[in-house]
Amino acid sequence: MSGEILILDFGSQYTQLIARRVRELNVYCEIVPFNKQLELSPSVKGIILSGSPSSVREEGAPAPALDVEHCGVPVLGICYGAQWLAWKSGGTVAPAGSREYGRAELHVKDASDPLMKGIPADSRVWMSHGDTITDLPAGFRMLASTDAVDNAAFRIGDSLIWGIQFHAEVHHSEFGARFLENFVLGICGVAPDWTPENFIESTVAHLRAQIGKDRVVLGLSGGVDSTVAAVLLHKAIGAQLHCIFVDSGLLRKDEFASVLESYKGMGLNVTGVNASARFLGDLAGVTDPEKKRKTIGRDFVEVFNEAASKIKDVSWLGQGTIYPDVIESSAVPGASATIKSHHNVGGLPEDMKLKVVEPLRQLFKDEVRRVGAALGIPPLILGRHPFPGPGLAIRILGEVTPEKVAILQEADAVFIDALRREGLYDTIWQAGAILLPVKSVGVMGDGRTYENCIALRAVTSVDGMTADWARLPYEFLASVSDAIIRSVKGVNRVVYDICSKPPATIEWE
């Protein structure tokens, strides 16, 4: 990797998007809180200052700890970042009018500037700010305007510092990606060599140096992240990696056996532990969703610990932590920090005193998939829908019993198999069946039935934070409903969930 970009996060809801766009240029970048004291490593070739929900006019407005004006590498301020640069040098920043939210037409005033390379004279950009720069400081050059915003883009004289008040990182900015490309590849001169293959090569070398002859234990969940982390570690340290795959009895129908088989097919050294009786036993009588999660989480840690302690001389715990988890736990208070995932079953087996190794810490989810594909992991595993750690327990409303798990597994399998058969599986983010705690009357043959009700849930989403119900064809829903009622004993009614998130959630518990 020949260079990287540093993004100073002032708390904008779009900070992660900036990182995404830079990574899409095949350039590595990292997000750090604006107030972090840091020594710039020679590999940092440029700095981007993010937006922020704050105003530079406020007392104690966030200011970077780094002396960005004299740091020796090019700097691009976006929105708040641009306002801060102007304000710091004596420019005027004032409350903006309502016209500075949403789409605007950008007019280039200085097409010769390297930031404007290839940008048409007029193009659409996305504005979202409460403040605006009304007067640029002396020596600043205005590069572009919109009808409402005179100083939409500027450069500080002939220095390597630029500011833009629009959000180049959002898709609504027509040439947004081009602005970032001009800055990152053109001005900063970073080579676009951050590819899955390079990532694998450098990570494998790093893991070998980090781990040496030690042993690593890793819990596999059947999901994408833990699988890719395991295959990467396996490539680095081979038989020194020991994987544990726990059957909680709450997985999908036949999933434990088939996933275990594919893990073995990938050459992983994996121990399957069947602990269904323990999980289901501990769940007896538990109806509260959070109590279910806690019970399952505790059992996971205990079962994992027992299995791990049988492996001799283990000193590392491998984990499939990915970049959004890292950012979420260290984010600057502000809009980006409020978007949190509250999940994740399990926890660190603390008494084992293991060091933690997380080979995917720098990657976004789609990058994990690309790395997985480059590692040769089968699409069937890489393309799998997310599945919650507590499994079917939070899709059985009320108490979980072995009988209910069996009913739900059958109904879910009918639904998922049909989605795959009809080529719909890859068009949706996540799907599954839910067993409701109600019985209703039906009629079958000549007899009256009084049986269970299954709800089907299928959603489209980008990241699981928000979601919409999938518009599955009526004919498809009709045939799934028919197949479930015909083949799953104990079910006489099927309904389809038509709620988006928010206000509903994806899971029912």
Element of type H or E holding 445: none
Nearer to ligand XMP, 196 or 391 (CB): 391
Q: Which residue from 12, 15, 430, 492 is in contact with ligand XMP, where contact means CB under 6 A? A: 430
Task: Report CA-CA distances (Å) from 243 to 92, 253, 257, 316, 328.
Answer: 59, 22, 15, 12, 27
Q: How many CB atoms lie within 10 A of CB 72?
A: 8
CB of 496 to ligand XMP, least distance (A): 17
CB of 368 to ligand XMP, least distance (A): 15
Q: Is 344 in the site for ligand XMP (CB under 6 A)?
A: yes
Nearer to ligand XMP, 68 or 458 (CB): 458
Is 125:146 a contact under the CB 8 Å cutoff? yes
| 186 is a contact residue toward ligand XMP (CB under 6 A) | no
Which 3 state secondary structure label does DSSP give 315?
strand
Cβ neighbours around 473 below 10 Å, total: 10
Q: Which of 156, 217, 392, 506 binds ligand XMP (CB under 6 A)?
A: 506
CA pair distance 137, 159, nearest whole angstrom: 14
Give the 3-state secondary structure of residue 459: strand
Position 345 contacts ligand XMP (CB under 6 A): yes
Where helices occur in 45-170 by DSSP H, the ranges are 80-88
Smallest distance, Å, CB 378 to ligand XMP? 21
In the complex, the smallest distance separating the C-beta of residue 11 from ligand XMP, rounded to whole angstroms, is 23
- Residue 317 structure tokens: 């715990």
CA dist 131 → 31, 124, 152 (Å): 24, 20, 12
- Residue 173 CB burial class (10 angstroms; 0-12, 13-18, ≥19): buried
Stretch that binds ligand XMP, among 81-89, 338-346, 437-445, 468-476 (CB under 6 A): 338-346
Spatial CA neighbour of 171 closest among 17, 48, 31, 19: 17
Distance (Å, rounded) from C-alpha 215 to C-alpha 213? Answer: 7
- Contact status: 226 vs ligand XMP (CB under 6 A): no
Shortest Cβ 507–ligand XMP spacing (Å): 3
Tally the C-alpha atoms within 13 A of residue 248's C-alpha that lie toward its C-beta: 32
Nearest-approach distance from CB 344 to ligand XMP, in angstroms: 5
Alpha helices in 356-438 (DSSP H): 365-374, 379-382, 402-421
Residue placing its CB nearer to ligand XMP in the complex, 203 or 221? 221
Q: Least distance (Å) from ligand XMP to the CB of residue 422?
A: 22
Q: How many Å is the Cα radius of gyration of the chain?
A: 26
For residues 372 and 389, which CB has a smaller minimum distance to ligand XMP in the complex? 389
Residues 163 and 133: their CA atoms lie apart, in Å, by 11
Q: Is 274 in the site for ligand XMP (CB under 6 A)?
A: no
Q: Which is nearer to ligand XMP, 43 or 344 (CB)?
A: 344
319 binds ligand XMP (CB under 6 A): no
Question: Which x/- pattern over 378-417 shows residues binding ligand XMP (rule: CB under 6 A)?
Answer: --------x-xxx---------------------------
Q: Least CB distance from residue 265 to ligand XMP, whole Å?
A: 25
The interface region with ligand XMP, picked from 144-152, 208-216, 314-322, 343-351 by CB under 6 A, is: 343-351
* Binding of residue 81 to ligand XMP (CB under 6 A): no
**The only residue of 155, 293, 370, 395 in contact with ligand XMP, by rule CB under 6 A:** 293
The yes or no reply on residue 219 touching ligand XMP (CB under 6 A) is no
Q: With H, G, I as helix, E, B as strand and everything else as coil, classify residue 258.
A: helix
Question: What is the distance between the alpha carbons of residues 185 and 46, in angstroms, rounded to a whole number?
Answer: 10
Is residue 91 involved in binding ligand XMP (CB under 6 A)? no
Binding mask 463-482 for ligand XMP (x = CB under 6 A): -x------------------
Number of residues this chain uses to bind ligand XMP (CB under 6 A): 14
CB closer to ligand XMP, 130 vs 464:
464
Q: Give the count of beta carbons closer than 10 Å to the beta carbon of residue 5.
A: 27
Closest CA to 308 of 355, 271, 256, 277: 271
| Least distance CB 416 / ligand XMP (angstroms) | 14
Residue 196 vs 388, nearer CB to ligand XMP: 388
Does residue 53 bind ligand XMP (CB under 6 A)? no
Give ∠ CA 366-370-373 in degrees, rounded to 5. Answer: 135
Identify the sign of the CA torsion 214, 219, 225, 228: positive
Shortest separation between residue 464's beta carbon and ligand XMP, angstroms: 4
Segment interacting with ligand XMP, rule: CB under 6 A, options 142-150, 199-207, 472-480, 499-507: 499-507
Rounded Cα distance between 63 and 128, Å, is: 20
Stretch in the footprint of ligand XMP (CB under 6 A) among 13-21, 67-75, 87-95, 498-506? 498-506
Please give the positions annotated as active site. 79, 167, 169
Give the pairing of strands 140-145 and 131-135: unpaired
Nearer to ligand XMP, 268 or 506 (CB): 506
Q: Does 33 bind ligand XMP (CB under 6 A)?
A: no
Cis peptide bond prior to 502, omega within 30° of 0: yes
474-487 vs 402-421: helix crossing angle, rounded to 10: 140
Residue of 159, 274, 309, 505 that binds ligand XMP (CB under 6 A): 505
Q: Which residues bind ligand XMP (CB under 6 A)?
A: 293, 343-345, 386, 388-390, 430, 464, 501, 505-507
